[in-house]
Amino acid sequence: MHVPLVVLGGGPGGYAAAFLAADLGLEVAIIDRDERLGGTCLLRGCIPSKALLHVGRVLSEAREMEGWGIHFPQPSIDLDALRARKDKVISTLTGGLATLARRRNVTVIHGEARFTGSKSLEVKTAGGTETVTYDHCILASGSRPARIPAFDIGSPRVMDSTGALELKDVPETLLVVGGGYIGLEMGTVYAELGAKVSVVELTDTLLPGADRDLVKPLQQRLEKLFAGIHMRTKVAKLEEAGSAVRVHFEGPEGAFTKDFSRVLVAVGRRPNSDGLGIENTGVVVNAKGFVEVDDRQRTADPHILAIGDVCGEPMLAHRASHQGKVAVEVLHGEPAVFAPRCIPAVVFTDPEIAWAGLTEHEAATAGKTVEVSRYPWAASGRAHALGRTDGLTKLLIDPETEAVLGLGIVGAGAGELIAEGALAIEMGCVARDLMETIHPHPTLGETVAFSAENYFGLATEIYRPRADSTNQ
């Protein structure tokens, strides 16, 4: 079988690339190991986790209504129905992708593919093995949960993020190994469903790399929701202990041991660049396993481009989708490049944390001078109406040009608010542009404008004494 363009991987980047290629008149085939299109994000990542987080948030809001004088009975959780609803969300979306592929005449091959050369793949399907040749290939093989060999003790009670999303049960106690976004999101789900959740993190902070002022409100809330948070602590050993997993810790308080019903290992992800026969091509893979590409998504092999998780950080679905479109435009002869000024990121905990552009952590690491203007949600009428004054919106501004370099938000719905910051950065806006854009009131979105007002000393909802003021 020969196809002008093969897309290896049917995730957000892969199917976006294939569908655009078809729309531009190219004959294209997608090869994916899963029985359904969607990749990790749709099948066992972004979408199912957000569906479960929605359930957790509703349960949390029901409890919060106690403070408003609204009392609900103790919820009864039907796990079978919950799993069915989660699976329905997935099946609806995967079904939609299958329909879109058929309408575009995109050939979909389900099987394991391996490069046998720069222009050929060997594909093992349920019906046997076939050779697929092509003019160009877009490698979109994604990533998978990172594993720690010492934790592979052969116990079903030790799971990764994929296993956690299966929601086989709600354990009495759950240890989450890793304080990154995956661990905290899934820990939140299980805690809201009734598990006693503990988190262990090797570094001195949750969400390493995120700004501390954004993490603080989340950590304060998680300290109430979780049974325990152990920082600067290492899991030295796991072992089965009857109906539990015995965990050996080493931390500031010394060595200690504790049993848990289940353990979730969430220590990051690694690219799917191994086992694909890449060594049979001219593609270069770096020491971390990432495929090296230029700003047009081209690899060192003229017949192969690469997009998404397999070619570097950040491992985000929206980054992969944009790279997929760039790769197709390049093949179509367009002067396209992947050169975003920012890629927004969201942690879908409660409260959510989102940022776009430069962070304070990055600025400090690079030795770059920035001015930071913060607006506490305690001054927001909308936040008070929602009972969620624990939020914060901040702008990072170039002190010389007043250009908006970054936006950071922690609070309810932060993920829905961050797009304004991404647009401002991409458009090259200055702080005054945000300040003079009239935002609707009362909304959480207006805290972005208020942050800009605060930068100029013009925020009326908070009081900031003038530097030259004196007490009479």
Q: What is the domain partition of the chain in residue ranges?
A: 2-145+270-331, 149-267, 345-455
Cβ-contact 6, 138 below 8 angstroms = yes
pLDDT at 470: 46
Contacts of 169 (CB under 8 A, 6+ apart): 79
What is the C-alpha separation between 59 and 23, in angstroms, rounded?
43
CATH of the domain spanning 345-455:
3.30.390.30
Q: CB of 164 within 8 A of CB of 171? A: no
Torsion of CA 383, 384, 385, 386, to 10 degrees: 50
The answer to whether the beta carbons of residues 26 and 153 sit under 8 Å apart is no
Q: Would you call the peptide bond into 314 cis, given omega within 30 degrees of 0 as the criterion?
A: yes
Copy the structure tokens of residue 232: 């600067």
- Report the DSSP pairing between strands 234-241 and 244-251: antiparallel
Residue 421 tokens, joined: 């910051």
Rounded to two decimals, what is the model's pTM? Answer: 0.93
Q: What is the pLDDT of residue 10?
A: 96
CA–CA dist 266, 178 (Å, integer)? 5
Active site residue 110: no
Distance of CA 16 to the CA centre of its chain: 18
Whether 281 contacts 117, CB under 8 Å: yes
CB atoms within 10 A of CB 257: 12
C-alpha span between 2 and 149 (Å, rounded): 40
The Cα-based distances of 164 to 35, 101, 183 in angstroms read 20, 30, 10
74-76-82 Cα angle (round to 5): 140
Confirm if 455 and 373 have CB atoms less than 8 A apart.
yes
- The answer to whether the beta carbons of residues 214 and 408 sit under 8 Å apart is yes
User: Would you say 245 and 158 are in contact if contact means Cβ atoms under 8 Å apart?
Assistant: yes
Q: What is d(CA 265, CA 180) in angstroms, rounded to the nearest whole number?
A: 11
CATH class of domain segment(s) 149-267: alpha beta
8-state DSSP, 285: B
340 preceded by cis ω (within 30°)? no
74: left (phi over 0), alpha (psi -120 to 50) or beta: beta
Residue 182 in tokens: 């995956």
Residue 162 CA, chain-centre distance (Å), reads: 14
Q: Which residue has the tokens 């990172």?
A: 146
Six token digits for residue 81: 């129905």
Radius of gyration of the chain (CA): 24
**E strand or H helix at 83:** helix 79-103
The architecture (CATH level 2) of 2-145+270-331 comes to 3-Layer(bba) Sandwich (3.50)
149-267 shares its CATH topology with 345-455: no
CA distance 304 to 5: 10
Q: Would you give per-residue pLDDT tens digits along the chain (472 residues)? A: 999 999 999 999 999 999 999 999 999 999 999 999 999 999 999 999 999 999 999 999 999 999 999 999 999 999 999 999 999 999 999 999 999 999 999 999 999 999 999 999 999 999 899 999 999 999 999 999 998 998 999 999 999 999 999 999 999 999 999 999 999 999 999 999 999 999 999 999 999 989 999 999 999 999 999 999 999 999 999 999 999 999 999 999 899 999 999 999 999 999 999 999 999 999 999 999 999 999 999 999 999 999 999 999 999 999 999 999 999 999 999 999 999 999 999 999 999 999 999 999 999 999 999 999 999 999 999 999 999 999 999 999 999 999 999 999 999 999 999 999 999 999 999 999 999 999 999 999 999 999 999 999 998 888 776 655 444 4
* CA 377 to mean position of chain CA atoms: 24
Q: How many CA atoms lie within 13 A of 456 on its CB side?
A: 15
Provide the pairing of β-strand 262-265 with 173-177: parallel
Report the C-alpha gap between 394 and 407 in whole angstroms: 6
Say which residue the tokens 């290629």 belong to: 21
Supply the pLDDT for residue 471: 46
DSSP letters spanning 207-274: STTS-HHHHHHHHHHHHHHSSEEE-S-EEEEEEEETTEEEEEEEETTEEEEEEESEEEE---EEES-T
For residues 392 and 202, what is the distance between their CA atoms, to the nearest angstrom? Answer: 27
Backbone angles phi, psi at 405, to 5 degrees: -100, -25
Q: If we measure between CA atoms, which residue out of 57, 63, 13 comes closest to residue 39?
A: 13
